[in-house]
Structure 1
Amino acid sequence: MIGSLRGTLVERAGDGELLVEVAGVGYRVTVTPTTVVEAGEPGDEVFLYVHHHRRDDVETLYGFLSREERACFEALIGAHGVGPALGLAILAVHSPPALQRVLADDDLAALCLVPGIGKKTAARLLVELKSRLDVPGLETAATASSDAGGGGRAARSARADVRDALANLGYAPDEVVDVVRELPDDGDPAELLKVALQRLAVG
């Protein structure tokens, strides 16, 4: 069972695959689009935490730049109805810390931004992942939000309003995620929406 790879990055494909050569052997590793970019350039040394997935007669290597991301992926694919493809899609939209915030805030809309996840599936995953996904600080984050008198929740709710509005306007999920991530932590939803639209127009 392969748990990690350290070697030379030979190729990287935009469809989410890296070719890593280790001691003369090239390993094809499936990764998120973010990892494709952050892994470096061909010729660079790369280290990946690996989940070695076996199903019937097919073996696939899934690579991650951090141990936390691999652990998150393995927890995700342990959930009912979540296979490796959907688990990777979730991580492509939400990093482990972002997913932590989604779960702490019961943010259904954020999970629905993942291609292939509808409202019913998102509602089920919110419940199941809280018990299955061991993301450090999940309980602390939820407590902090409560202790702050809803301040943290209010900030996320404002962002959720902007996210919903942009989705209703027809913007793609990746565009929505990127622009919402850059918004201030607090503010009036209408003003935040205006800022988001301006940034989308420029970018």
Structure 2
Amino acid sequence: MRADARRNYERLVDTARAAFMEHGTGASLDDIAKRAGVGSGTLYRHFPTRDDLLHAVLRDQIDRLLTHAAELLAEAAPGTAPEETAPAAAPPAGAEVALGLWLRLYLAGSASPRGTSGAIIDAMSARWPGTGLGACAEAICEALGLLLDRAQRAGALRPDIDPRDLLRLTNAIGVAAERAPDPGEYADRMLTLLFDGLRTR
């Protein structure tokens, strides 16, 4: 990419990040181009769809989330011994705690910019294939699936939970939280209720 094209790309991403933070992920793309000092054609050459631009804005945030999932999976779950040395009667709560911590981090990230949860829900359905945001949604779902599987194998959570369903439920909490007076408190309370239904009895 030429130096001037790279500058335009970075300026568009920075401007879009500010616009999405201010107006949500539905912010006008033409206004973003105008604020970045480029024509709409330049924006659409770099980002043919809104998903492409949103993916560029969220990429670092999603990478940090996936890195955190890998770190949780690479070490013993909080409150438990490493799997290879854990006694058969080890309490199963640690793997559930790890999953809960990660989902809370996910919800905190999806709360900003407003509309991120809804965009991920869209990316999981018809827009999943062939988009950068769709690939991110798939990677998030895979990471969630690994954390969920560990909690299920530990006996902490019901074995019939599908990671895609859990991700959709979590995103639904994120969408609802956007309309709550205290989004963080609401999301935390709803996630607590969700986990109450996920646990084995």
> Please, what TM-score do these two structures have when normalized by structure 2?
0.29
Bigger relative contact order, structure 1 or 2 (CA pairs below 8 A, ≥6 apart): 2
Greater strand content: 1
Greater helix content: 2
> Please, what TM-score do these two structures have when normalized by structure 1?
0.29
